[in-house]
Amino acid sequence: MAITVKLDDLLHDNRMTLTELAERVDITLANLSILKTGKAKAMRFTTLEAICRELKCQPGDLLRYEPVEED
């Protein structure tokens, strides 16, 4: 997938666990884990907003576009 999620880095920088973030943004740990591992197909803007609020970051700090080379 061309979009990667840099949630691990932001959690580390904020000294926060995935469980703590899940509680703060009111999302299940399972869904946040799916997002963290890059398996999510979509994300609500309200979820993105809540994550950015709690991690004190911008959406661009969380998401990265990496082009996929085609054969």
In whole angstroms, what is the distance from residue 71 CA to residue 62 CA? 28
What is the per-residue pLDDT for 1?
Answer: 62
Q: Mind listing the domains of the chain with CATH numbers? A: 3-65 (1.10.260.40)
Residue whose token pair is 């926060």: 16
Can you say how many angstroms the Cα of residue 16 is from the centroid of all Cα atoms in its chain?
Answer: 13
In which element (H, E) is residue 11 found? helix 7-13
Token pair listed for 54: 């709690």
What is the per-residue pLDDT for 51?
Answer: 97
In which element (H, E) is residue 4 found? strand 3-5
pLDDT exceeds cutoff 70 at 30 = yes
Eight-class DSSP state of 1:
-
Its pTM stands at 0.87
